[in-house]
Amino acid sequence: MEEHLSVSFVRTEPLPQLPPPATEQGIVKWLRENLFSGWLNTLLTVLSLIFIYKLASDTLPWLLNGIWNTDSLAECREILDGTTGACFSVLTDRWNQLLFGFKYPSEQYWRPTLAFVLLIVAAAPVLFFDLPRKMLIFTGLYPFIAFYLIWGGTIWTPIFALLGFVVGYVVYSRLVRNSFATAFFSGIAAALVSWWLGGFLTDLLASETPALEAVQSRDMGGFMLNMILGTVCVSLSLPIGIVLALGRQSDMPIIKWICVVFIEFIRGVPLITLLFVANVVLAYFLPPGTSFDLILRVIIMITMFASAYIAEVIRGGLAALPKGQYEAADSLGLDYAQAMRLIILPQALKISIPGIVNVSVGLFKDTTLVSVISMFDLVGMIRGPILASTDWNGVYWELFLFASLLFFVVCYSISQYSQWLERRLQTDHR
């Protein structure tokens, strides 16, 4: 504008877009804003760089100079000849032991490996609900397939176990129209009877030489044991936790108090004592002569422990829902089961995702505690057979680094999945 007195102004030509100054774009801008925006930040940046350099200069030679193909620590040290370097050859040498334990028959390693691959297929439709719903049929069958693959023995055991569930479900669905309670308990009774009959038939039908060699529970070990315990316990404790959380909110005093006492008792006891109970004390309560599988006992204990925690997490989610959601569901005439399944739980579980993931990740890492009751999981294998062997006595860093890495990969994936799930389920403001 020139020296006019008038304030009116009309632009006749739009100004062209100009690029920002060189210091205000790209990496220069980023560096200036994030690393060198003041003398204090500059100082911190420099200190951090020095720290990173020191850390890298100490560990990188150790990592990069690692030896991967010797048979013992002595041999490895000989090759290193005083220079810095890791003896990763303990991992290659004892790879199978770390993964499967030291007693699992080596020619059968393909069985747990296959079970692991199938686990991914079975878990996929549960985790990613865009996948075709028909895949859930395989998920339903997976526990029996995995059991047969890992434990082997006669194929009739998983078949009759599956049959028991089917019979129970058929009885339940026949009676559920009349009364839920009758149907529920008749279903359980029918399943128990068919398992009992199945037990006899299994003994009759089992051949002397089963197609898959039977492997005993005490021969399981390594990371496989952690995976078995983690997968089974997480997938069981979630539904049990939901039931406990709903039970704790129930209007029926007996159900409410059973749930409260269970949750408070289990939460008030360290997991390690429960595991000792599973290992030693539980045997006293069982009829003499029954051999109750150790892995099964441990699974029961860890599941109880985790489900108590998950129940409390879900209770928090239920409490966070506005009362109006219950009222809206009620006012539309939905019954209790429908309101819970369609309205309340989808929202409460969504709110509880971070808490549930927290418990699940913790639970998965806690499976290493079974090493204390002399089961040879990954940590048990490292502390026991591997470090105690004459070949590898004294290799700590490499082994525990490997164990940490395995657990980190699994736990970090769970965490990433849960964040994806939260974003995916976000419907309130997008």
| Site for another protein, rule CB under 8 A | 322, 324-325, 327-336, 338, 342-343, 346-347, 350, 425, 427-430
Between CA 349 and CA 352 the distance in angstroms is 5
Choose among 201, 170, 203, 204: nearest CA to 187.
170
Cβ closer to another protein: 173 or 374?
Answer: 173
Length of the chain: 430
For residues 420 and 357, the answer to whether their CB atoms sit within 8 Å is: no
Between CA 214 and CA 153 the distance in angstroms is 4
- Nearest distance, CB of residue 322 and another protein, angstroms: 8
Cβ closer to another protein: 321 or 410?
Answer: 321
Cβ closer to another protein: 270 or 346?
Answer: 346
For residues 357 and 412, the answer to whether their CB atoms sit within 8 Å is: no
Choose among 237, 202, 227: nearest CA to 364.
227
**Rounded (10°) CA dihedral 304, 306, 311, 316:** 160
Q: Residue 381 has which token pair?
A: 């294998």
Cβ closer to another protein: 3 or 130?
Answer: 130
For residues 366 and 271, the answer to whether their CB atoms sit within 8 Å is: yes
Cβ closer to another protein: 4 or 430?
Answer: 430
- Nearest distance, CB of residue 43 and another protein, angstroms: 46
- Nearest distance, CB of residue 335 and another protein, angstroms: 6
Choose among 337, 163, 139: nearest CA to 171.
163
Cβ closer to another protein: 268 or 324?
Answer: 324
- Nearest distance, CB of residue 427 and another protein, angstroms: 4
- Nearest distance, CB of residue 63 and another protein, angstroms: 47
Cβ closer to another protein: 138 or 336?
Answer: 336
- Nearest distance, CB of residue 59 and another protein, angstroms: 47
- Nearest distance, CB of residue 415 and another protein, angstroms: 23
- Nearest distance, CB of residue 340 and another protein, angstroms: 12
- Nearest distance, CB of residue 430 and another protein, angstroms: 7
Tokens 């998983």 belong to residue:
158
Residue 242: how many CB atoms within 10 A of its CB?
20
Cβ closer to another protein: 165 or 184?
Answer: 184
Distance of CA 148 to the CA centre of its chain: 21
Helix (H, G, I), strand (E, B) or coil at 377: strand
For residues 337 and 284, the answer to whether their CB atoms sit within 8 Å is: no
Cβ closer to another protein: 276 or 326?
Answer: 326
Q: What are phi and psi of 153, to 5 degrees?
A: 80, -160
Q: In the 8-state DSSP scheme, what is residue 24?
A: G
- Nearest distance, CB of residue 72 and another protein, angstroms: 59
Cβ closer to another protein: 351 or 379?
Answer: 351
DSSP string for residues in 71-99: SSHHHHHHHHTTS----THHHHHTHHHHH
Q: Residue 227 has which token pair?
A: 């995976």
DSSP string for residues in 259-298: HHHHHHHHHTS-HHHHHHIIIIIHHHHSPTT----HHHHH
